[in-house]
Structure 1
Amino acid sequence: MATIEMREVKSRWYKRLGWLLLIWSGSVVSLAVVASLLKLAMYAAGMRTH
C-alpha cells in the first residue's frame, strides 16, 4: 500500500493577510447589503423615520 508523505507548506504572511482582508471585506459588504434590504423593506411597509 502506498503512503502519502505529508509536507508542511508555509504560506507567506502577506498571502494570509490578503485572504483575511478579502474575507473580512466580503462579510462587511454582505452585512451592508442585508441591512439595506431590511431598511428598504421597512420603508416599503410604512415604517418611516421622522
Structure 2
Amino acid sequence: MTGKHTLEEIQAAEKKPLWRRLGWLAMIWAGSVVALFIVASLMRMFMNAAGLSTH
C-alpha cells in the first residue's frame, strides 16, 4: 500500500449522502471549537492563579 486511494474508493466516498459528509464537517468544526474553549479556559485559570487579572 502506498497510501494513495484508488478510483473505486474515491467514487464510493462520493456516493455517500451529502448530509452525512456535512455532518462530519460540522462535528470536526464543533470539536475544534470545544478544544479551543478548553485551552483558553485553562490559560485564563492559570493566569488568574498567577495574579494576572483585568480587574
TM category (shorter chain) comes to 0.7 to 0.9
Query: RMSD of aligned C-alpha atoms?
Result: 1.4
Residue 18 of structure 1, CA deviation: 0.3
Give aligned pairs, total.
46
What's the % identity of the aligned pairs? 50
Residue 28 of structure 1 pairs with residue 29 of structure 2: no
1:3-14 alignment runs, 5 A limit: 7=8, 8-9=11-12, 10-14=15-19
TM-score, normalised by the number of residues in structure 1: 0.83
Alignment partner, residue 16 of structure 1: 21
Which residue, out of 27, 41, 45, partners 2:46? Answer: 41
Q: Which has the larger radius of gyration?
A: 1
The code of the aligned residue for 1:14 comes to: W
Q: Give the structure with the higher percent helix.
A: 2
Unaligned ranges ≥5, structure 2: 1-5
Work out the CA distance in 2 between the residues paired with 1:6 and 1:27. Answer: 31
